[in-house]
Amino acid sequence: MSSIAFALAVLAAGFAVVYLLRHCGEAESRARSATKTLATGLLAASALVAGAPSLLVAGLALGAVGDLMLSRSGARAFLAGLAAFAIAHLAYTALFLTIGAAPARLMAPERNPAALALLALGIAMGWRLWPVTGALRWPVLVYVGIIVVMGMAALSLPIPPTGPYDPLVAIAAAALFILSDAILAFELFLLPATHRLRRISPYAVWTSYWLAQALFLGAFAGLT
């Protein structure tokens, strides 16, 4: 990784920390939106400068778009953010498939428990979210399916790798991304407005999400 790409990644980490300490859990504002978007957008810039796979750059850039949309209020912004993240997950899935991910590997004894656990999580999320998401139920259900597919693709990566990437870091990134999405769904649709967990849930969502994006960069752009 070049010094410029590394500097962009460090700058992204700086914005991520600022967002965590200053804006996480705060009301909507331009500063909040800008900080959140830059924290991921600069990861995309780092990947681009580093010559990382175009699908990785696309996934990170779409994540930045999703961050911007979800930092704003309203159903239209939410749907736009959901769509951006859904396409980002599809980009990561395509990336995994282009480097040798094979569904047949999920039947291996060392991978099958994780695959079954992920499938169970997806079913549980769909079952719990369906009755509480109203007009958003179909977009949310499709999104749940997409993140499960992305996770399965990550779990089916070849180990040892067939190219210059780290499959274990990629799997960890996928797991953190799914965890972030699960916590966010719980916060948005299931957690009562006055529940004390709302004091910490935004921090859990942001930390797991941004680390996931940073690990994707590290897995494919030489930060690890």
Residues 69 and 62: beta-carbon distance below 8 Å? no
What is the percent of the chain with per-residue pLDDT over 70, rounded to a whole number? 98
Three-point CA angle 178, 182, 183, nearest 5°: 120
Instruction: Give the residue from 149, 152, 143, 120 showing the smallest Cα distance to 189.
Output: 143
Kindly indicate the confidence band of residue 101, based on its pLDDT and cuts at 50, 70 and 90: very high
Count of domains in the chain?
1
Q: Please compute Rg for the chain using Cα positions.
A: 17
Residues 88 and 66: beta-carbon distance below 8 Å? yes
* CA dist 3 → 18, 99, 189 (Å): 23, 26, 42
What is the percent of the chain with per-residue pLDDT over 90, rounded to a whole number? 85
| pLDDT tens sequence across 181-216 | 999 999 999 998 888 888 899 999 999 999 999 999
Residues 176 and 147: beta-carbon distance below 8 Å? no
Total-model pTM: 0.93
Q: Does residue 109 have a cis bond before it (omega within 30 degrees)? A: no
Average pLDDT value for residue range 88-95: 98
Within 8 A by CB and 6+ apart from 164, the residues are 222
| pLDDT tens sequence across 52-79 | 999 999 999 999 999 999 999 888 999 9
pLDDT score of 141 more than 80: yes
Average pLDDT value for residue range 136-144: 95
Range of the domain at 170: 3-221
The rounded distance, in Å, linking the Cα atoms of 196 and 3 is 43
The rounded distance, in Å, linking the Cα atoms of 104 and 156 is 8
pLDDT at 73: 87
pLDDT score of 224 more than 90: no
